[in-house]
Amino acid sequence: MAIPNMQIPSRQLFIDGEWREPVKKNRLPVINPATEEIIGYIPAATAEDVDIAVKAARRALGRNGWGSTTGAQRAKFLRAIAAKVLEKRPELATLETIDNGKPWFEAASDIDDVVACFEYYADLAEALDSKNKTEVKLHLDSFKTHVYKEPLGVVGLITPWNYPLLMTTWKVAPALAAGCAAVLKPSELASITSLELGEICREVGLPPGALNILTGLGHEAGSPLVSHPDVDKIAFTGSGPTGIKIMTAAAQLVKPVTLELGGKSPIVVFDDIPNIDIAVEWTLFGCFWTNGQICSATSRLIIQDTIASQFLDRLLEWTKNIKISDPLEEDCKLGPVISRGQYEKVLKLISTAKNEGATILYGGERPQHLKKGYYIQPTIITDVDTSMEIWKEEVFGPVLCVKTFKTEEEAIELANDTKYGLGAAILSKDLDRCERFTKAFQSGIVWINCSQPCFWQPPWGGKKRSGFGRELGEWSLENYLNIKQVTQYVSDEPWAFYKSPSKL
C-alpha cells in the first residue's frame, strides 16, 4: 500500500460534540521527530477549558443524552467509530508516524488494533444489558438482593505518546462501553490522532459531551482535570513521577485512580532454547519494538552463562541488520525517539553506564547516515552491575542491558531486582521451569517463549511501582462501572426489632 502524503489537520479542542477554540487561544507546536521540523500546531487547553469540558460531560449523563443509552445503543456508536477508523487507516497511520516517529507499518498495525478494540468493547457493551441486574443469593428468605452495574460517571483519561491513538482507545472504548462520559487529555508530544478521533466521533453522531478531547500541557490541562471536583475517576498511563502526582491530587477528593506506569522488565533466556535465532529475535523485539519506547520493554536480558557468548554474537549480528531510517520508508524497523528531551535523556543514560564501568557492545550513538532527527542506534550494554543506573532505571529508548546467571535461583533474583513489576519473559523449552518462573516473577504480565505480544482480550497492568488496576479485557470495563447493591424486604411480616407501642 502506498503511504499517503499528508498535511497536519488544523483542529481546536473537541468539547460537547463541537470544535472549540481554547479560552486563552494558546497553541503548541507539533515537531516531527524524524526531521526536527515544526509541522503544525495543536490547541493548548487550560483550567478554563477543562471546566467547560467537564460540565459538558456531566450534561451528557443527563436523562436525554448519553446517560440514557442502553449497552446495545452504545455498541452501535462504538462499531461506527471502528468502521470510520478502518476507513481512515492509511491517513491515521501516517499522522501517527510523523507525529510519533514509529515506523509506518507499526503505526498501521496499531490502527488495526484500535479497530478491533472498539469492536471488542461494543460486544461487551451489549452484554452489559443482561448483566446489570445480577441476583445475589441470601440466607434469609425475607430479603432479595441484586447487584446493579451502572456507569461510574465523568472520567478523566490521560494517555501517553508512545501509542497515541491505541492508548487512547484502551481507555475511551471501555469508558464509553460502560456508559461513562469522558474527558481525554492526550500527551502534548503526540496528540494528532487523538484529535482526529474527535472528528470521527462527530462524523458518526456520538451524543455531545460523551467524549471531550483536550490537548495541552500536563500542568495546564492534566492537573486541573485530575483535581476537578466533578470528575469521578482518573485513568492514567505514563511515567512514575507523574503517576505519584496524580495519585496525590486524587487522594484529596478520595477519587479512584487506575495507574499504568513504568517498567524495567526482564527477559530470562536458558541454554535449552531449541533455536537461538528465534530467541534472539524475541529478545530484540521485546526491547526495540516501538523504537524502544514501551513501558513493558524487556530491556534487561538475563542470559545463562553457558550460552552467553554464542547468544551475544548472534544478537550482535541481528542488531546490525536492523534498518534505521525515516519511519515512512519501506521496511524501516527503527525510527527516532519522540523528542529532543528524550533523545538527550537516553544518550545520557548510555554515557553514565559507560562511565560506571559497563561496556557498550554496540550502538549508543546517532546513526552516521542520519544527520537530522532524534535517532539513536539500537544499543547493547554488557558488563552491567546491579548497582548501575542502566540496570535500575527505565530508559524508554532502544537500549538493552545484559547480565549472566548460572542457576534458576540466581535468575529469579536478578529478574525481580527492580522496583517495577509490569512484564517479564522466560525463554526455555522446559515448561515446568516456565511455570516455576511464572509464579516467581513479580509482575502483572508473563510471556513464555516470546516477548511483548499484546491482545485486547487479556488484562494488562502491573504491580509494585508499575501501578495498579488493569486495562483491556473485561477487567478494563470494571474500571468504569459502579457496583450498586439493591436489597428489598419481601416479607409481609413485621421486622419486629422494636417493641410495638400499645394500640389505641
| Residues labelled as active-site residues | 260
> End-to-end distance of the chain based on CA atoms, in angstroms?
90
Give residue for cell 410495638: 500
Residue 43: strand pairing partners: 27
What DSSP string runs through 323-353?
A: -BS-TTSTT--B---S-HHHHHHHHHHHHHH
3-state secondary structure of 484: strand
For residue 101, CA distances in Å to 77, 255, 334, 464, 485 come to 30, 35, 9, 30, 48
Cα 364 off chain centre by: 27
Cα 92 to Cα 104: distance, rounded to the nearest angstrom: 10
Contact at 8 Å (CB) between 14 and 186? no
The C-alpha cell at 489 is 424486604
Q: Residue 446 in contact with residue 423, Cβ under 8 Å?
A: yes
3-state DSSP assignment of residue 237? strand
The DSSP H or E segment spanning 223 is: helix 223-227
User: Amino acid identity, residue 457?
Assistant: Q
Rg of the chain over Cα atoms, rounded to whole angstroms, equals 25
The Cα–Cα gap between 232 and 58 comes to 10
Q: How far apart are CA 327 and CA 33, in angstroms?
A: 10
Q: What is the C-alpha separation between 154 and 210, in angstroms, rounded?
A: 9
Read off the C-alpha cell for 445.
504480565
Residue holding cell 471531550? 212
User: Could you tell me how far CA 373 lies from the centroid of its own chain?
Assistant: 25
Task: Give, for 365, the enclosing helix (H) or strand (E).
Answer: none
Rounded Cα distance, 5 and 24, in Å: 32
